[in-house]
Amino acid sequence: MFYRSHPSMKREDPVKVIKEALGKALVFYYPFAGRIIEGPRSKLLVDCTGEGILFVEADADVTIDQLGDSIKPPCSYIEEFLHDVPGSSGVLGCPLLLIQVTRLACGGFIFAIRLNHTMSDSLGLSKFLNTVGELALGASTPSLLPVWEREILNARNPPRVTCVHHEYEQLTHTETSIVMTLQEHEKDMTHRSFFFGPSELKSIRKHIPPHLQKCSNFEVLASFLWRSRTIALQLDPDEVVRISVMINVRGKQGLNVPSGYYGNAFAYPTAISKAGLLCQSPLGYALELVRRLKTQMSEEYIKSAADLMVLKGRPHYTTVWSFLIADVTRLGLGDIDFGWGKAVYGGLIGARPCASYHVSGFKNSYGEEGILVPILLPLPIMNRFQQELLSNGIEYPRKIAPRL
């Protein structure tokens, strides 16, 4: 999160203010001060040792304006703004949060955080950071009290898998895996962010049949990116590819997840297709597959996924020829206020080879607001991906700025 200086906070040190607020917040979110241990049958547990989190204080001789495009994902200086403390990045026995506050020469600052994902998802982390902000502003207690209650999403007894979960299937592939492909191109990995404003979305929707025009922009864009990315990969036509959409389960009928719950509460239902069929079919084919994913997200699907975790011993998400995408436009990290107002940008720092997300809060050179999508691919594949977008009227943006 990138913050500008504020006239009323000239005499305040953001490091001191945030560090004190963090200490107060950890009283309510005390499990974050513990360590993950492994219990019977490989079950992960939190040992509430009170050892605390890692906090790094830093100074940078640059202004927020000098950072330019580095404010938007991908961040060019992540190693400077979030120091990877040796021995801190493991799952077991390591600090659950790493936070760095970097003062800038202009009086602004950067707040960066790394989370042990076994503890919380992005929405849960947002609840914690909102509490830090409230306490920094003088509150004595959070407006929303945290809820642990991890048993809410436990597997049933006895566990039973009643739904199809393509996200965990190990399929037979005709070529080397995406992991192998990326290893071959490790030095050529390229990170680029693509902007989709009103004109870009209008251009994409021209390829959608009338009965699908009511689909959301997220569904349309996810389908378009999946198809374009698959075309760029140039796979064997019989290769099976997947798209997974990360969906929040809070508020899902039958689950009764409390509003203060800050654990992992998401699932990623997955659609599959032959690569050749996806690439050769109109965009409506991919959109139909993506649209159906939301209908899969029933109470039964979520419980079936929890049961599968137990029966299969916490299987890993299958990354082979997969594309995982999430909508974080409503995450609200940019709205967190430590006393310096809203952030210029608040959100994730970049994409992963098999995953991306939609970010709001940016505008193009015409002043139009839109969605920013960071993509990480090997350079040759990235160039083909960019060319595919260009053939559909989507140009690589030369100037993108935060909304504020």
Is pLDDT of 174 > 70? no
Indicate if 362 and 218 belong to the same structural domain.
yes
Query: What CATH number does residue 105 fall under?
Result: 3.30.559.10
Element (H, E) at 244: strand 240-248
In a domain, 158, yes or no: no
Q: Which amino acid is residue 360, in one-letter code?
A: S
Last residue of a domain, one of 127, 153, 179: 153
In a domain, 125, yes or no: yes
Tens of pLDDT along 317-340? 777 788 999 988 888 888 999 999
Cα dihedral 22, 27, 30, 33, rounded to 10, equals 40
Is pLDDT of 404 > 70? no
Higher-confidence residue of 69 and 232: namely: 232
Residue 14: which pLDDT band, with cuts at 50, 70 and 90?
Answer: very high
Q: Which of 83, 185, 191, 337 is catalytic?
A: 337
Is pLDDT of 268 > 70? yes
The yes-or-no answer on residue 13 being catalytic is: no
pLDDT at site 216: 93
> 145: domain range?
2-153
The count of structural domains within the chain is: 2
Last residue of a domain, one of 153, 186, 203: 153
Tens of pLDDT along 221-235? 999 999 999 999 999
pLDDT at site 289: 96
In a domain, 359, yes or no: yes
Is pLDDT of 120 > 90? yes
Is pLDDT of 175 > 60? no
- Among the listed residues 97, 94, 107, 140, the one whose alpha carbon sits nearest the alpha carbon of residue 15: 107
Q: Which of 117, 188, 236, 238 is catalytic?
A: 117
Indicate if 121 and 186 belong to the same structural domain.
no
Cis? peptide before 86, omega within 30° of 0: no
Is pLDDT of 80 > 90? yes
Indicate if 188 and 85 belong to the same structural domain.
no
Indicate if 13 and 93 belong to the same structural domain.
yes
What is the Cα–Cα distance from 286 to 259, expressed in whole angstroms? 33
Give me the mean pLDDT over the 395-399 stretch.
Answer: 62
Last residue of a domain, one of 125, 153, 181: 153
Indicate if 190 and 334 belong to the same structural domain.
yes
Q: Could you tell me the CA-to-CA distances from 223 to 13, 72, 206, 293, 366 in Å, in that order? A: 45, 23, 14, 12, 26
Task: Calculate the average pLDDT of the chain.
Answer: 89
Indicate if 170 and 148 belong to the same structural domain.
no
Tens of pLDDT along 282-301? 999 999 999 999 888 889 99
**Ramachandran category for residue 121: left, alpha or beta (phi over 0 → left; psi -120 to 50 → alpha):** beta
Is pLDDT of 180 > 50? no
**Sign of CA pseudo-dihedral 100, 124, 179, 236:** negative
Neighbouring-strand partners of residue 101: 57, 111
Indicate if 35 and 93 belong to the same structural domain.
yes
pLDDT at site 77: 87
The yes-or-no answer on residue 117 being catalytic is: yes
The rounded percent of the chain whose pLDDT value lies above 90 is 64
pLDDT at site 356: 85
Q: Are 304 and 161 in contact, with CB atoms under 8 Å apart?
A: yes
DSSP state of 345: B
**Sign of CA pseudo-dihedral 183, 185, 188, 194:** negative
pLDDT at site 396: 67
Is pLDDT of 82 > 60? yes
Rg (CA), the chain: 22
pLDDT at site 355: 83
- Two tokens, residue 272: 């599959």
Q: Are 4 and 106 in contact, with CB atoms under 8 Å apart?
A: yes
